[in-house]
């Protein structure tokens, strides 16, 4: 476990520097599982030290939503704070490498309810639907309206059934959607029901750039009557971005997860070593699959 000074979660609100705590390190994460199953691999020790023993987010899709309750319960019993990603929106990733999601709106609503109920009255950090708001433009007008309604429904479920969860709607990255436009979209999808927004999920932009954009977006949300905060994914931003997103070469793991850094928290939302898809330097590795070669290159910055 990694000791951090993490904000205390009181009634769903993070109180910076209020109490010492720890993020939960999932012993069944993809890198931890690989390390356990490959005791003699020469890459094992570095991957274990640099990635597998760090707190990363657990991604929850359609097939593993039943694991939420046990995951949060295990973390709570150990007095640790779990980080999860909700990733099941219909039409996910505009049908690209991480395409999929719930088959129907009704299925998504049921999944949302189950996800929120699984957390219950326990602390957790939840990043809601990476890219779902930023990618609204790939949808038809009716599809766009349905997505807005589904995201808002999910935020309502989390507010009602998971009152101690600190929830962040994904807001893309610093080089994607202009802050005024993103603020308007977040207003539509239920930002009023959650603590804030998440930036740079699965991307590579430097923390300083994400924080600058985050502060601008916060100001735009304030104009709409919302006082919000944000988190930043720093899992792979050690070398910044080269403009590519799908397993690009030369990227590096970022600083370990912590509170502060200009945001509520700097997190490892993307699990380093999990592929972005069959692309870049991992053309045969499906999205979400752990690759020790990818992991080692992220450790080395190559």
26, 40, 93, 264: the catalytic one is 93
Contact 260, 278 (CB under 8 A): no
Residue 165 near residue 126, CB atoms below 8 Å: yes
Active site residue 45: no
Question: How far is Cα 167 from Cα 142, in angstroms, rounded to an integer?
Answer: 26
Report the C-alpha gap between 61 and 65 in whole angstroms: 6
Do the Cβ atoms of 235 and 250 come closer than 8 Å? no
17 carries an active-site annotation: no
Q: Which of 232, 175, 211 is nearest to 57 (CA)?
A: 232
Active site residue 276: yes
* Residues in the chain, overall count: 302
Q: Is 270 annotated as a binding residue?
A: yes
In the set 131, 170, 233, 264, the catalytic residue is 131
Q: Cα separation of 99 and 73, whole Å?
A: 29
Residue 173 labeled ligand binder: yes
Q: Which residues contact 40 (CB under 8 A, 6 or more apart)?
A: none
From 26, 233, 264, 276, active-site residue? 276
Beta-carbon count within 10 A of 137 CB: 8
d(CA 32, CA 26): 8
For 174-189, b/e burial (b = at least 16 CB within 10 A) is bebbebeebbebbbbb
CA separation, residue 82 to residues 34, 169, 243 (Å): 21, 17, 31
Angstrom distance (rounded) from CA 74 to CA 280: 36
Query: Which amino acids are annotated as binding site, given as ranges?
Result: 59, 173, 176, 203, 245, 270
> Which residues participate in catalysis according to the annotation?
93, 131, 276
Query: Which amino acids are annotated as binding site for substrate, given as ranges?
Result: 59, 173, 176, 203, 245, 270
């Amino acid at each position: 476990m990694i000791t951090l000074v993490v904000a205390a979660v009181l009634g769903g609100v993070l109180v910076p520097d209020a109490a010492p705590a720890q993020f939960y390190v999932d012993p069944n994460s993809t890198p931890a599982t690989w390390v356990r199953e490959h005791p003699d691999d020469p890459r094992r020790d570095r991957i274990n030290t640099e990635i597998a023993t760090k707190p990363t987010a657990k991604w929850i899709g359609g097939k593993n939503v039943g694991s939420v309750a046990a995951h949060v319960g295990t973390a709570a019993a150990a007095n640790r704070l779990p980080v999860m990603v909700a990733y099941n929106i219909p039409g996910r990733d505009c049908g690209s490498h991480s395409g999929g999601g719930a088959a129907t709106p009704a299925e998504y609503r049921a999944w949302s309810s189950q996800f929120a109920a699984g957390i219950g009255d326990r602390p957790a950090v939840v990043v809601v639907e990476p890219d779902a708001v930023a990618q609204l433009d790939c949808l038809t007008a009716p599809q766009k309206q349905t997505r807005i309604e589904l995201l808002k429904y999910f935020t309502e479920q989390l507010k009602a059934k998971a009152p101690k969860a600190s929830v962040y709607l994904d807001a893309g990255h610093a080089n994607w959607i202009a802050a005024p436009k993103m603020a308007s979209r977040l207003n539509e999808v239920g930002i009023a029901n959650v603590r804030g927004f998440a930036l740079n999920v699965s991307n590579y932009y430097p923390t300083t750039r994400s924080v600058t954009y985050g502060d601008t977006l916060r100001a735009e949300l304030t104009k709409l009557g919302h006082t919000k905060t944000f988190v930043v994914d720093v899992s792979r931003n050690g070398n910044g971005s080269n403009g590519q997103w799908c397993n690009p070469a030369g990227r590096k793991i970022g600083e370990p997860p912590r509170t502060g850094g200009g945001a509520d928290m700097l997190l490892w939302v993307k699990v380093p070593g999990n592929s972005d898809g069959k692309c870049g330097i991992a053309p045969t590795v499906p999205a979400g699959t752990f690759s020790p070669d990818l992991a080692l290159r992220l450790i080395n910055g190559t």
